[in-house]
Structure 1
Amino acid sequence: MTAAAKLLDDPANAVTDALRGLAAVHPELSVDLEHHVVARGDERRPGKVGLVSGGGSGHEPLHAGFVGLGMLDAAACGAVFTSPVPDQVLAATRAASSGAGVVHVVKNYTGDVLNFQMAAELADDEGIEVETVLVDDDVAVTDSLYTAGRRGTGGTLFVEKVLGAAAEKGLPLAEVAALGRDVVSRSRSFGVALSPCTTPGSDQPGFDLPPGEMELGIGIHGEPGRRRVPVPATGVAREVARTSVAAIDEDLPLAHQDLLLLVNGMGGTPLLELQVLAADVVDELSARGARVARALVGNHVTSLEMAGAMVSVCTTTPELLELWDAPVRTPALRWGA
């Protein structure tokens, strides 16, 4: 078999070449091609808490696309679906540090957790204080091949946006980290796959999903979910909305809650379909007594070209909404700035 056709020059250099492209069209960013680290290119503000995240590539725009005013100060980009190594995370931490400490936003995958922990210890040796916020928002499964406990998925976007605004306001390190843990406790996600994805250079998909079936509770690397079911002949979006919201509501009761909502494409789902799903999700939430205060629809936390979607919610407060609404200017998310 031959490798799947992709818009690449050399599959082995996919991450480096993608970062070259990011640098070419976003000169406001500082892109370190040696360490695969993307950082803000503006002058660091003394006394501002730094915000760093990262993970395997293939989930774009997460995380590099969220570097900029009001979100991340730096992101470490691992190989496709592979955690960045400690030296990469340390380089990102140095790039984000301005003397007030750095918060690491870490998705709960074993490699990410271990490598960010090692990087935090190395940063501490250099006099950079690090706090870690672990994101584990996925309600689909408790343990998987990649994790101990819940996976970190779409809720990561809520954490990065809110903490980015808090750091811009000048909150101290301990408060920014505590706020991040609060946002994690309020966030839940559930994903569905309609097709698998194929990593660069591979001649076959990363997992098997026969035509006419969908995986409920999929992870962002194609990890198995709760179960595999036939795709309905009609009403697919309604069924995905019903299943996703029910799973979230079972874990975090949504009645009388004001919500941030993310209807997230997994990389291969057209916006037209995501908007159909969004309407059905809002209907499901309303039927359960919840109100959508703010919403995003689009491809934000992806899995290469996987077809499918993830529904993420975060229960909110006026204070959190103020931080959500605060100006943000990144390649992938911008408003008010």
Structure 2
Amino acid sequence: MKKIINNPHDVVPEMVNGMVRSYPQIIEKIPGTEAVVRADKESMKGKVGIVSGGGSGHEPTHAGYVGKGMLSAAVCGQVFTSPTPDQIYAAIKAVDQGKGVFLVVKNYSGDVMNFDMAKDLAAMDNIEVKNIVVDDDIAVENSTFTQGRRGVAGTIFMHKILGAAAQEGASLDEIDALAKKVLPNIKTIAVALSAATNPEVGKPGFVLKEDEIEYGVGIHSEPGYRREKIKPSKELVEELVGKLNDEMHLDGNKKYACLVNGMGATPLMEQYIFANDVLNKLDEFKITPAFMKVGNYMTSIDMAGISLTLFEIQDDKWLDYLNYPVTTIGW
């Protein structure tokens, strides 16, 4: 294992310190935690707080999306490990403005359990908290850390939509209703060329042959649904868009947002080649995305691979929210 780190057990606190010291105008650390909150407190006044978080190793998710117009706070667990309830609760308290707090949780058993416990702690303090559990990964039904489908890169669209709505003054009930409408329209699928190496483990989560890929891998190196020999980008797109079409019934009369997401070790050159092939494939459905992002938005440390998210935009206001200006490190 070759990594630019010090002690493998210190990667999360040292990373968080590096982030807040590099961008003090955007985020600050909540004392006694590995959670970060907006530095711009004025932007949170009178608004519903939006909090997310999870295991580290997915940067810029989640701390990179804290800032005006997006998340109010994010909680950084140990690598690929859910943050503890007390740290999540500290983030809830830090953003509570008397209007309630909304939690965006990815569907992993530890995250769901710990965010629920934090929600209970907040209730004892009379802080009203609601949440959504994001399960956008269509690859497999149950996985290593999950009952049901996993929460992956499509979660970022949820952060963006809800953050903009909250910034515009939506109530907790309105944000809750919006999240429930948005969720079933976000779908993601991935392909990996190599696994992530957790610095505390020191070896890859799985090993693929030199000429092998795996479809449907999760963001913690969870198994996918098929391994086969590496193929050209166009053929990878055929597979992934085909699976998304089976799920979403793509329609040229509808609007879509598209996210091509690098998993950590995939060069932007390859991401743009893949994006070009995705757009060519969508042309066959007479679809031109109304919104598109390409880059490293939800990674898996140093995994080589790519994920593709499509989001059916059923309301023009959702597109306004996607385009809403934000002040964050990662968007």
TM-score (norm. length: structure 2):
0.97
Contact 2:30 2:91 in 1 (8 A): no
**1:270 is matched with which residue?**
267
Tell me, yes or no, if structure 1 residue 31 matches structure 2 residue 57: no
In the alignment, residue 33 of structure 2 is paired with which amino acid?
A: H
**1:80 is matched with which residue?**
79
Q: Say which is worse superposed, 101-110 or 197-206, in terms of deviation.
A: 197-206
Residue deviations 1:17-73 (CA, integer Å, cap 9, x gap)? 001110111112111363100100122544210000000000000000000011000
Q: 2:288 aligns with which of 287, 291, 294?
A: 291
Q: CA RMSD in A?
A: 1.1
Of all paired residues, the percent bearing the same amino acid is: 44
**1:310 is matched with which residue?**
307
In the alignment, residue 321 of structure 2 is paired with which amino acid?
A: L
Q: Return the alpha-carbon distance in structure 2 between the equivalents of residues 9 and 135 of structure 1.
A: 34
Q: 2:240 aligns with which of 227, 244, 254?
A: 244
Q: Return the alpha-carbon distance in structure 2 between the equivalents of residues 242 and 176 of structure 1.
A: 35
Q: 1:324 aligns with which of 307, 317, 322?
A: 322
Residue deviations 1:192-222 (CA, integer Å, cap 9, x gap)? 0001111114332111222111010110111
Contact 2:30 2:90 in 1 (8 A): no
Q: Say which is worse superposed, 294-303 or 23-32, in terms of deviation.
A: 23-32
Tell me, yes or no, if structure 1 residue 97 matches structure 2 residue 93: no
Residue deviations 1:213-232 (CA, integer Å, cap 9, x gap)? 10101101111111111113
Q: Return the alpha-carbon distance in structure 2 between the equivalents of residues 219 and 41 of structure 1.
A: 32
In structure 1, the residue corresponding to 2:274 is in which secondary structure?
A: helix
TM-score (norm. length: structure 1):
0.95
In the alignment, residue 191 of structure 1 is paired with which amino acid?
A: A
Query: Residues 211-250 of structure 1: matches in 2 within 5 Å?
Result: 211-232=210-231, 236-250=232-246
Offset at 1:152? 0.4
**1:119 is matched with which residue?**
118
Tell me, yes or no, if structure 1 residue 155 matches structure 2 residue 154: yes
Contact 2:40 2:68 in 1 (8 A): no
Contact 1:254 1:289 in 2 (8 A): no
Say how many residue pairs are matched.
327
In the alignment, residue 239 of structure 1 is paired with which amino acid?
A: E
In structure 2, the residue corresponding to 1:328 is in which secondary structure?
A: coil
Instruction: Identify unmatched segments of 5+ residues in structure 1.
Output: none
Q: Return the alpha-carbon distance in structure 2 between the equivalents of residues 137 and 248 of structure 1.
A: 11
Offset at 1:124? 0.7
Contact 1:57 1:82 in 2 (8 A): yes
In structure 2, the residue corresponding to 1:228 is in which secondary structure?
A: strand
